[in-house]
Amino acid sequence: MEQRLRIEDLHIGYRTGGNTHTVIPNLSFEVESGTLISIIGRNGSGKTTLLQSIAQLLAVLQGKIYWNDTDLKPLSTQAKAKLISYVGQIPNIPPHLKLQDLLALSRNPYTNWLGNLEQSDRSQIQNVADRLDLIPWLDRPLVELSAGQKQRCLIAAALVQDTPILLLDEPSAFLDLDHKASIFKLLQEIAHKHNKIVMLSTHDLNPALQISDKILLLDRGQGTFGSVQELVRQKIFENIFHQKWVGFDPDLMQFSICV
Amino acid sequence: MKQNQYLLWVSLLSGVAFLGLLNIRLGSEWIPWVAFGESFIDAENIYAPILWEFRLPKAFTALLVGGSLGVSGLLMQSLFRNPMAGPFVLGISSGASLSVALMLMGSSFLGTLIPGNFGLVGAAFLGSLGVFSIIIWASQRIRSIMSLLIFGLMFGSFTGALVSNLSFFSTSENLQRYIFWGLGNLGGLNSQALTLLGLGVTVGLLLGLAALKGLNVFILGETYAQTAGVELKKIRLLAVGSCCLLTGISTAFVGPIGFVGLAVPHICRMAFRTVDHRILFPACFFIGGGLLLGCDIIAQLPGSNYILPINGVTSLLGAPVVIWLILKQRKLWNNV
């Protein structure tokens, strides 16, 4: 059975004190498992706000988020953590924390009150580490790894958390082209081979158009959702950025800087 | 690696036991080994009253209070993700001090707030509870960790100023009582008080235990912890409740003991080379307890007739540790 994430009439933004600042009003879309979705848009267009709202880190202003037919909002933190994993910015990592410790912590929703690992937890960790070629790093402190390697480890942690939905906030930021490519490839594999919903925000537009099954474009408080081809046909990419600086070639499906 | 940890635990526990025995034997009168052993079984032994009424309660107090402060410091450093956090720095002890000062010296114009034998204890506990609530309230509004520390320090100066003003108008007798309380005193707990201390510490430790799993995930930041299924509010409440109880009850019974809470978690992290609270929690308890037993031995100035106040010794030893930590700060910010 296909499983789906359904966003219904969602209003996202921030409440501070008595003031409500709506970033995007009225967003609706639906994704099935096995899909890689890229959220693109200018700085401040609401990419992170949307991801954090879906991850339940930020209270939504209005509207509902459903997993199949279950409303996510009333679920316990633990139940949510079994459905959605979130990879944000690379956190400040303590010096003694090894990759295996990080992966063990990611089993948090499944472990007992002390966080002790069962056999099933261990095999899950082992499987993910094996799949992502991380076995040789398991015993290494995370601080010793490069940004690209850390990102890979955080994705591994999200996989260890074993959720049908993976949300990633700019997973390709600060990485060189090599690492960007390997991270995108890995995420595509996770979506397609492991039949998960992978939703990421990114400023790497060309790779995003290349690998994504769906694109969610956020622009001036509006969300446009569809496949890359659909959005190209709507001639929507041409207008995101200032045409004096950035051009879009619909045949190559590529953005380029105007010089 | 695992082998290494067992070795550490064995040496830590035997170290604490050794310090405990040494602490019990030492004092104005050095109890010989044979008499020491006999006193445990023979109530008629001349050393038995000293042992049962003074030395043992004092050693237990040192172990419980040192352990409580060590654990308290660990919980606070993890909760605030700040290596400089501790009962002393964040002003919890100041809160207790203010409360005790109000009780001892403010009675002339406030009337006696809490009468009875446990007045001091209750006042100190309420004081630390009050400050901790303020800190938690502030920590939810002030995002920056540095601001929160400044908040704690400012609160410390504020209470210090209030205490100064109170003492200016106080009778010399009450002032002396307050100063002696502030110097710390591990002795003088009767069995009733010791039971209450033990009970409070047990409840505090249990609350802390319930927060361990969440705190382990917490070290990677709130966002990560929340999406990994940690109920932040619950963990915060458990950790805060535990700290408050442990620090509050310790300060209440023996006065504000400086530096143990700040230094012990760092010693533990360095010794065990881990950030796993399942290891650090018991380690902090025993290293904290051992440290205070050791400080108490030094405070007896073996071979002399003088006894130093316990707070004088912990601060003397602790201040260089804190300076050393500040000098290593670059590495330290990642340490929690």
DSSP string, A132-177: TT-GGGTTSBGGGS-HHHHHHHHHHHHHHTT-SEEEEESTTTT--H
- Whether residue A139 is predicted with pLDDT greater than 90 in this model: the reply is yes
Asked if A14 and A44 count as a contact pair (C-beta separation under 8 A), the reply is: no
β-bridge partners, A40: A217
B219 shares contact with chain A (CB less than 8 Å): yes
Tell whether the model's pLDDT for residue A152 goes beyond 60.
yes
What confidence tier does A55 reach under pLDDT thresholds 50, 70, 90? Answer: very high
pLDDT given at position B114: 43
Inter-chain residue contact B228 with A106, CB threshold 8 Å: yes
Mean pLDDT of chain A: 93
Query: Do A97 and B269 count as a contact with CB atoms less than 8 A apart?
Result: no
Give the chain A residue nearest B210 (alpha carbons): A113
CB contact (8 A) between residue A91 and residue B221: yes
Chain B residues in contact with A81 by the CB 8 A cut-off are 227-229
Residue A153 pLDDT > 70 = yes
pLDDT at B329: 53
Give pLDDT tens digits for A63-119. Answer: 999 999 999 999 999 999 999 999 998 888 888 899 999 999 999 999 999 999 999
Query: Given pLDDT bands bounded at 50, 70 and 90, which one contains residue A1?
Result: low
| Model pLDDT, residue B143 | 62
Facing residue for A94 by CB, picked from B210, B227, B334 = B334
Cα(B128)–Cα(B146) distance, rounded to whole angstroms? Answer: 21
Instruction: Give the gap in angstroms from C-alpha A101 to the nearest C-alpha of chain B.
Output: 9
What is the rounded distance in angstroms from the CA atom of residue B33 to the CA atom of residue B103? 44
Q: Which domain holds residue B13?
A: 3-334
Interface check for B328 against chain A (CB to CB < 8 A): the answer is no
Per residue in A215-234, pLDDT tens?
Answer: 999 999 999 999 999 999 99
**What is the rounded distance in angstroms from the CA atom of residue A146 to the CA atom of residue B42?**
66
Whole-number pLDDT of residue B25: 86
Nearest CA in chain B to A52: B223
* pLDDT of res. B224: 92
CA distances in angstroms from B7 to B4, B19, B71, B271, listed in the order given:
5, 18, 22, 11
Q: Residues of A with CB below 8 A from B269's CB?
A: 96
Most confident of the following: A129-133, A239-243, B160-164, B176-180:
A129-133
Interface of B with A in 71-110 (CB under 8 A): 81
Interface of A with B in 53-112 (CB under 8 A): 55-57, 76-78, 80-82, 84-86, 88, 91-97, 101-102, 105-106, 108-109, 111
Averaged over A129-152, what is the pLDDT?
92
How many Cβ pairs within 8 Å bridge chains A and B?
79
pLDDT of residue B330: 52
Separation CA B227–CA A77 (nearest Å): 8
CB neighbours of A138 closer than 8 A, spacing ≥ 6? A98, A99, A100, A103, A129
Q: What are phi and psi for residue A222, nearest 5 degrees?
A: -120, 145
C-alpha span between B222 and B219 (Å, rounded): 8
Chain B closest-CA separation from residue A54 CA (Å): 11
From the candidates B1, B2, B4, B220, which should be mutated to test the interface with A, based on the most A CB atoms within 10 A? B220
What value of ipTM does the predicted structure carry?
0.89
pLDDT of residue A243: 80
Q: CA–CA separation, B266 vs A87, rounded Å? A: 29
Residue A88: list chain B partners with CB under 8 A. 223-224, 227
Q: Is B236 on the interface with A (CB under 8 A)?
A: no
- The reply to whether residue B216 touches residue A109, judged by beta carbons under 8 angstroms, is no
Q: What is the pLDDT of residues A31-53, one digit of tens each?
A: 999 999 999 999 999 999 999 99
Provide the pLDDT for residue A18.
81
Please tell me the predicted confidence (pLDDT) of residue B116: 46
CATH number at residue B108: 1.10.3470.10
What does the pLDDT read at residue A37?
A: 98
Nearest chain A Cα distance for residue B276, angstroms: 9
Number of other CB atoms surrounding residue A42 within 10 Å:
14
Residue A142 with chain B: CB contacts under 8 Å: none
Tell me: pLDDT of A160 over 90.
yes
Tell me the pTM. 0.88
How many domains, chain B? 1
Amino acid, single-letter form, for residue B120: L
Are the Cβ atoms of B221 and A105 closer than 8 angstroms? no
Q: Smallest Cβ distance to B213: which of A56, A92, A113?
A: A113
B221: which DSSP letter?
A: -
Whole-number pLDDT of residue B107: 67
Give yes or no for B58 touching A (CB within 8 A).
Answer: no
Average pLDDT per consecutive 10 residues, chain B (336 residues; last block may be shorter): 81 94 83 81 82 90 96 90 76 82 72 54 80 76 70 83 88 86 86 90 96 92 92 86 86 86 88 90 96 92 83 83 67 46
